[in-house]
Amino acid sequence: MNRLCKLIALASSAAALAFPSLAYASFLPPEMMDTMAKYVAWFVVIFVPIGAIVLFWMLHVLPEKIAHKRHHPQRDAIHTLCLLSLFFGGLLWPIAWLWAFTKPIGYRAAYGTDKHDDYFHKQGAKAQAGELLDYELAHLREELDTMAAKGTLTAELKVLRRDLEAATAAPAPAALSAPATAATIAAKGGNA
């Protein structure tokens, strides 16, 4: 029996060697293999390095984007550190990443704020358009007054501070302005 199995295996191997054109190792016919390999090679040579560079750049400027979104007052320095990191093989990038997430307490003590000037310009534009609520406008004025007391207001922020004197707050939404009565709480299904 064992001898018969060996004989069958040898015969099937010989048959497979006798008809090699019936077996394909690819889903493509042999005449299209070279063409497909050429296209895949060109794709790998051209587009993979470009994609890697774009991905590297997007990851590399991430601390700068985070600092910009959080109105970090030292975002220009974080931007410079990200650029310097390119020349030092990425060694400075973790420092820029950590710096973008830190709360600049020392900066606030020295300058009276922990926001970038662009934040005040955006909020000032909203205040002049009447889009800030009372407490937001009061907070903006208070922060600018603190900076003025420290003597760190730029000329543009001094003009903004003066213009905020005439700014009016936006009307408060009904949910915030009206005191909650037992009837409105019960209608919403909440507890008083």
Alpha helices in 19-69 (DSSP H): 30-60, 62-69
Local confidence band at 19 (pLDDT 50, 70, 90 cut-offs) = low
Residue 192 confidence (pLDDT) above 50: no
Q: Compute how many other C-beta atoms are within 10 angstroms of the C-beta atom of residue 148.
A: 14
Residues 123 and 132: beta-carbon distance below 8 Å: yes
Nearest Cα neighbor of 144 from 153, 136, 133 is 153
Residue 171 confidence (pLDDT) above 90: no
Residue 29 confidence (pLDDT) above 90: no
CA distance 100 to 79: 10
Structure tokens at 159: 């003009």
CA distance 160 to 116: 14
The string of pLDDT tens digits covering residues 42-60 is 999 999 999 999 998 898 9
The string of pLDDT tens digits covering residues 111-159 is 888 888 889 989 988 888 888 888 888 888 898 888 888 888 888 888 8
In the chain, where the domains are located: 34-102, 109-172
Top pLDDT among 71 and 176 is at: 71
CA distance 18 to 7: 16
The mean pLDDT of 17-28, rounded to a whole number, is 65
Q: Check the CA dihedral 185-131-67-86 and report its sign.
A: positive
Mean pLDDT of the chain: 82
pTM of the model: 0.61
